[in-house]
Structure 1
Amino acid sequence: MKIMLTINGLDVAAHFSEQDVATVHKPLLQRLAALHAAAPHQRTIVFLSAPPGTGKSTLTTFWSWLAAQDPHLPALQTLPMDGFHHYNDWLDAQGLRPYKGAPETFDVPKLAQNLRQIRAGQGTWPQYDRQKHDPQEDALQVTAPLVVVEGNWLLLNDPAWRELREYCDFSIFITAPAAALRQRLVARKQAGGLSEQEAEAFYQRTDGPNVERVLTSSVAADLTLMMTENGDYRF
């Protein structure tokens, strides 16, 4: 199945095999639908945590599209965690801008506040502005009964991040071979205009440590998916 998805304002071509849709993605959405049906009067919040390079944004946007095609599934909205980065002024003051994306560069209390609001009812969600490279407040109106919050650190084994589990009804973790993630992340930076040397340096400074930390320092999820070397997902 080839499909065009809009992710962060950009059109992205995605491909999912019909077999994987039937054996992985639809069964997973049906499981989340059953979870919501057990408590239909409140919003169901799912955490999807995974290292960089595992295609979280594409995957969750596809899930949202797939749910919309089936009248038996509740509407699903994907909520990226990137909008909770601290502003660049704050990062510069702390000397953290070169490490943007690490756990320390996120405003965890602000994320908890937004999760509390959307659990209670209607709320908004910030989005990361990739032109300004800063959060854009209230960019998304949260309306769906089922939401998937996706990011690297949602299951981090750290006191501040563990407190977020209060707002999580179900958690999913994606694991993947570290070598495959390195190849994907370096290629992504080169596609964005960096030289091979610059892309490798960025990986060593930022992406690589983040990949290792997510893979080794996340608490167990309710469900784990494996991303294969060719980008497919398996239970």
Structure 2
Amino acid sequence: MLDRNDPSKSSPYRIFTRDEWASLRADTPLTLSTGEIDRLRSLNDPIDVSEVEAIYLPISRLLALYVAATQQLFRATKSFLGYNDTKMPYVIGVAGSVAVGKSTTARILKALLARWPNTPRVELITTDGFLYPNAVLAAEGLMERKGFPESYDLPALLRFLSDVKAGKSPVTAPVYSHLVYDVVPGETATVDRPDILIVEGLNVLQTGRPPRDGKDIPFVSDFFDFSIYIDADEEVIHDWYVQRFLRLRQTAFRDPQSFFRKYAEVSEAEALRIAESLWSRINLLNLRDNILPTRHRAGLVLRKGENHRIEQVALRRL
């Protein structure tokens, strides 16, 4: 947790308590109904109207200001250069561990930002679609590394973001199914010059080691205008992951097409053992080695408590 009261630590962030951040909503109206919020939240993520009002309305207000300033800068630069360039989308990255609530955050922000007059077209893409298909991962011995940086088709993801930033239209992205736990062959999502593109994924703030030959290599985060990291204690995320796994046994895992159908048939004790094993072998390692080390690169860090309520907000200083 970031500590604003420790003078020995120099931080690039300005730290806000929940109440301090909520006060920055000002007069921003709530444009989502209770029913809409219920439909946007993920399994095991009990977000409600009070959370949207306290946390997400101030974020949407801040981002609307940032986007408006960027649009103004674009117009001034275009006038200075005498070019007739196409306006580039404002790209927001959302990062964090599995089970921490990235998808809910991304969907809530998409809905709120689409209601601001200067950003009516907001699109959301998850990097899951850029995972290599299971057949490729299995052939390369990477099924146990699914979600780690090496399991993604990084060149394809970078081409997608480069095309979006260049104003190409339309641009397509592959689609991932959590039901079958694989990329869906032939299915794509289309992005057509949005005002804002939200990119959600585990490792979107990852950098990696630069090459030794001096060649330039882009990172996914190079295409971001703003980034958000969803944070919580390791033990808390572990509990959320296990709880979600056990709940999925009673819901999605029972679908005959589910990749995890076999887990719906085992005893609760065996399911708990499996969830603990998946967490420790895969998700915990990915969190420690690849995801958590990128937290400091985010423009905004949302710190959650045990009940999924955001207790602290850290905004990077300009």
| TM-score bracket for this pair, using the shorter chain length | 0.7 to 0.9
Instruction: Please tell me the residue identity of whatever aligns with 2:160.
Output: N
Give 1 or 2 for the bigger CA radius of gyration: 2
Q: Which residue of 2 aligns with 1:61?
A: 107
Shift of 1:34: 2.0
Correspondent of 2:69 among 29, 38, 50: 38
Shift of 1:110: 1.0
> Are positions 1:204 and 2:280 aligned together?
yes
Q: TM-score, normalised by structure 1?
A: 0.87
Q: Which residue of 2 aligns with 1:191?
A: 247
Shift of 1:217: 4.8
Q: Which residue of 1 aligns with 2:16?
A: none
**C-alpha distance in structure 1 between counterparts of 2:52 and 2:178, whole Å:** 30
> Are positions 1:48 and 2:94 aligned together?
yes
Matches for 1:15-30 after TM superposition, within 5 Å = 15-30=46-61
> Are positions 1:172 and 2:222 aligned together?
no
Q: Which moved more, 1:39-48 or 1:159-168?
A: 159-168
3-state SS, counterpart of residue 161 of structure 2 = helix
Shift of 1:16: 3.3
> Are positions 1:120 and 2:120 aligned together?
no
Shift of 1:96: 0.6
3-state SS, counterpart of residue 4 of structure 1 = helix
Figure out how many residues of one structure are paired with residues of the other and give that number. Answer: 232
Q: Which residue of 1 aligns with 2:301?
A: 224
**C-alpha distance in structure 2 between counterparts of 1:99 and 1:197, whole Å:** 19
Q: Deviations over 1:124-143 (max 9, x none)?
A: 22221234432235621113
Contact 2:119 2:195 in 1 (8 A): no
3-state SS, counterpart of residue 192 of structure 1 = helix
Contact 1:30 1:73 in 2 (8 A): no
Shift of 1:45: 0.5
**C-alpha distance in structure 2 between counterparts of 1:151 and 1:125, whole Å:** 14
**C-alpha distance in structure 2 between counterparts of 1:162 and 1:152, whole Å:** 18
Matches for 1:116-155 after TM superposition, within 5 Å = 116-121=162-167, 122=169, 123-136=171-184, 139-143=188-192, 144-155=194-205
Cα distance 1:168–1:138, how it changes in 2: closer, same or farther (>3 A)? farther
Q: Which has the higher strand share?
A: 1
How many percent identity over aligned positions? 26
Q: TM-score, normalised by structure 2?
A: 0.66
Shift of 1:32: 1.7
Aligned-residue CA RMSD in angstroms? 2.5
**C-alpha distance in structure 1 between counterparts of 2:92 and 2:133, whole Å:** 26
Matches for 1:77-92 after TM superposition, within 5 Å = 77-92=123-138
Contact 2:295 2:301 in 1 (8 A): no
Shift of 1:174: 1.6
Cα distance 1:228–1:163, how it changes in 2: closer, same or farther (>3 A)? same
Contact 1:5 1:58 in 2 (8 A): no
Unaligned runs of 5+ residues in structure 2 are 1-33, 72-86, 211-216, 250-262, 264-270, 314-318
Cα distance 1:232–1:78, how it changes in 2: closer, same or farther (>3 A)? farther
Shift of 1:116: 0.7
Cα distance 1:85–1:4, how it changes in 2: closer, same or farther (>3 A)? same
